[in-house]
Amino acid sequence: MTLVAELPKPAALPGGPNLRQAGRWISSRLAGALPLLLPVAIVVAWQTASSLGLIGNRLMPAPLDVLRAFWDKTISGELGVNIAVSAQRALSGLFVGGSIGFLLGIANGVSSLSHRLTDTTLQMIRTIPNLALIPLVILWFGIGEEAKLFLTSLGVFFPIYLNTLHGVRTVDPQLIEMGRVYGMNGWTLFRKVIFPGALPSIFVGLRFSLGIMWLTLIVAETMAASSGIGHMANSAREFMMTDVVVLALVIYALLGKLADATARFLERRTLQWHPAFQTPAKG
Amino acid sequence: MSQIQQARKFNAWGKGIEPEYGPQAPAPTAERGSAVGIRIEGLDKSFGSVPVLRQLDLEVPAGQFLAIVGKSGCGKSTLLRLLTGLDEPTGGRITFTGPGGEAVTPNARIVFQEPRLLPWERVAGNVAVGLGPGQGGRPAKEKSLAALREVQLDEKAGDWPAQLSGGQRQRVALARALVSRPDFLALDEPLGALDALTRITMQGLVERVWREQGFTALFVTHDVGEAVALADRVIVLDEGHIVLDILVEHERPRLRGAEDLARIERQLLDAIFRR
């Protein structure tokens, strides 16, 4: 009993509970901003080095120059048009390649006949780097939209195909048996058991393919295009406009991040049931 | 049979007589469902050249609680899979019979050892699976909730299976099996993966719903004590043969460890280990 009484009281913090609360609020805000810390620090260091003349502006523009290029290109409308063109190419490639990959993945996962018929061929094509097809694609399609669509579709196809196939094949056979016992078959079994079971894997494929989508598109636009972000960067290089070249890189980074964040958002929304996506709030 | 019906006038598990039919507890609302009889004649099943069941004959009266025990690989799970249509017999015949002895198609349901809930359906949605495809809307929802109430999990209807404990998941699986009011319920070691205390609660629950709904129950287990505590009749399978078939005609609720039950347990264990 006396032990407790003899313990020294904790020294009160100056300012009392209000200040401590404020401190906690600030630290929680800081924790939220933590991922931004490194990019901001790099930009600040970069700008400082440029201003001090440590980095030659002809080879690497200062962040403020890039910002100015962004402003000029936005005002002239050039940037908006190019982003729209690139985004449209990317999305149509994702749609075409993704749909084919998804459908073939499902078909080959469900039917062993379809799997035996097509899988070997697809795996052989997969080993060819799709950018190695560029010379052939230019001969076939010239530098028109078809070339870009073909290349991005092909690039997007494989991650979605492989992961959909894997997802369907790894659906718990006990759940499928349960579904059959309870009278499900065909479409119902697919909708209630197989597709939701494969969905986490399909999302992994989608996020992989988003990366490949931008990569393929950038290369295709740099080599053979008359519009788009890649074309903008490439023509800026001819006039030594390094600020525009760097601007294009920044835009690519932002678009890539946006695509990934969208996929994550969809993942979170559709996979609420998954323990990995559950908020522990509910008991 | 009269013994069995006699036994069913008592209720609940563990303590006292009829506490759940007492004035303070709600009376069971569900009218007792129907039950089918089972007739098995000369049943054979082999996987490749390995025989699992040989020339099995068995008659199960409607509404009986039959437990099957035996060592791993004795064929008890195979018999359950044949009875529920998960596998096809190599030879012989299984007939389900109605009240007049005529052949009928049973409304059979299974509770597996694992709950096998769909992780992407909420608890109520999982129970609704038991109604079969093409069932939806308000009636399905209400039936699912009623079934959940029977296993005392209605307040978890909106949860994901991942949020439940192992015992709760198995109770959801039981509700899914019961929601369509089956006349034949097969349970394949349904409590095998649960801890000892949860098992006792679940045994009481299985016994209660069987008494309320009156289906024919086939309970496969490796736990002889569990079989004796729950079943009207226990069968020991060994290498595809029935080596012992005894009636347990004790009044319910049965007290665990009672001397005469222990004697039956010993008899069963002797048959299993061929002592």
Q: What's the CA gap between B20 and B10, in Å, rounded?
A: 10
pLDDT classification of A16: cutoffs 50, 70, 90: low
Q: What pLDDT is recorded for position B28? A: 40
Distance in angstroms (rounded) separating the CA atoms of residues B48 and A57: 78
Judgement on whether residues B13 and B94 belong to the same structural domain of the protein: yes
Residue range B215-247, pLDDT digits in tens: 999 999 988 888 998 899 999 998 888 999 999
**Does a structural domain hold residue B125?**
yes
Residue A132 is given by DSSP the state G
Does A3 have pLDDT greater than 70?
no
- The yes-or-no verdict on residue A37 having pLDDT over 80 is yes
Indicate if the pLDDT at residue A12 is higher than 50.
no
Nearest Cα of chain B lies from the Cα of A202 at a distance, in angstroms, of: 15
The confidence score (pLDDT) of residue A88 equals: 92
Give the residue from B118, B123, B189 with the most A CB atoms within 10 Å of its CB, the best one to mutate. Answer: B118
Q: What is the CATH number of the domain that holds A245?
A: 1.10.3720.10
Q: How far is A97 from chain B (nearest CA, A)?
A: 27
In a domain, B17, yes or no: yes
Residue A271 domain-assigned (yes or no)? yes
In a domain, A1, yes or no: no
Asked if B255 and B232 sit in the same domain, the reply is yes
Q: How far apart are CA B30 and CA B146, in angstroms?
A: 10
Beta sheet of B65-69, edge-to-edge order: B108-111, B184-188, B216-220, B65-69, B233-238, B241-247
pLDDT value at position B35? 87
Domain that holds residue A112: 63-277
Using the 3D structure, point to which of B165, B180, B195 is the last residue of a domain: B180
Q: What's the distance, CA B235 to chain centroid?
A: 14
The total number of structural domains that make up chain B: 2
User: Does one domain contain both B91 and B193?
Assistant: yes
What is the tally of structural domains in chain A?
Answer: 1
Q: Is A208 within a domain?
A: yes
pLDDT value at residue A25: 77
Mutate to test the interface with B, among A171, A176, A181, A277 (most CBs of B within 10 A): A181
Contact indicator for B133, B84 with CB cutoff of 8 Å: no
Q: Residue A55: inside a domain, yes or no?
A: no
Minimal CA separation from A192 to chain B, in Å: 8
Let me know whether B191 and B245 are in one domain: yes
Could you tell me whether strands B241-247 and B233-238 are parallel, antiparallel, or unpaired per DSSP bridges? Answer: antiparallel
The verdict on B11 and B85 lying in the same domain is yes
Give a yes or no: residue A56 inside a domain. Answer: no
Q: Which residues of chain B have pLDDT under 70?
A: 1-33
> Which carries the bigger pLDDT value, residue A184 or residue A18?
A184
Whether A194 is covered by a domain: the verdict is yes
For all residues of chain A together, what is the average pLDDT? 85
The answer to whether residues B101 and B232 belong to one domain is: yes
Q: How far apart are CA B220 and CA B187, in angstroms?
A: 6
CA nearest B183: which of B84, B88, B251?
B84
The residue segments making up the domain with residue B209 are 2-107+185-272
Residue A3 belongs to a domain:
no
Identify the DSSP state of A206: H
List pLDDT tens digits, range A199-255.
Answer: 999 999 999 999 889 888 888 888 777 888 888 888 888 888 888 999 998 898 888
CA–CA gap between residue A24 and residue A14 (Å, rounded): 15
Confidence (pLDDT) at A39? 84
Q: Is residue B239 part of a domain?
A: yes
Q: B176 and B192 share a domain?
A: no
Residue A265 has pLDDT above 70, yes or no: yes
Is B259 a domain residue? yes
pLDDT of B256: 74
Q: Residue A145: which pLDDT band, with cuts at 50, 70 and 90?
A: confident
Tens of pLDDT along B22-64?
A: 333 333 444 456 889 999 999 999 888 888 888 889 999 989 9
Which of A62, A60, A65 minimizes the C-alpha distance to A43? A62
- Is A35 inside a domain boundary? no
Task: Provide the strand spans (E) within chain A.
Answer: none
The band of A15, judged by pLDDT with boundaries at 50, 70 and 90, is low
State both tokens at B240.
Answer: 């595809």
* Contacting residues of B for A197, CB less than 8 Å apart: 120
Residue B95 shares a structural domain with residue B213:
yes
**Chain A residues closer than 8 Å to B118 by CB:** 175, 192-193, 196
The pLDDT of residue A273: 85
**Please, are residues A160 and A209 in contact by the beta-carbon 8 Å criterion?**
yes
Q: What is the pLDDT, as a whole number, of residue A279?
A: 58
Nearest CA to B121 out of A269, A273, A194 is that of A273
Q: Is the pLDDT of residue A283 over 50?
A: no
pLDDT of residue B22: 33
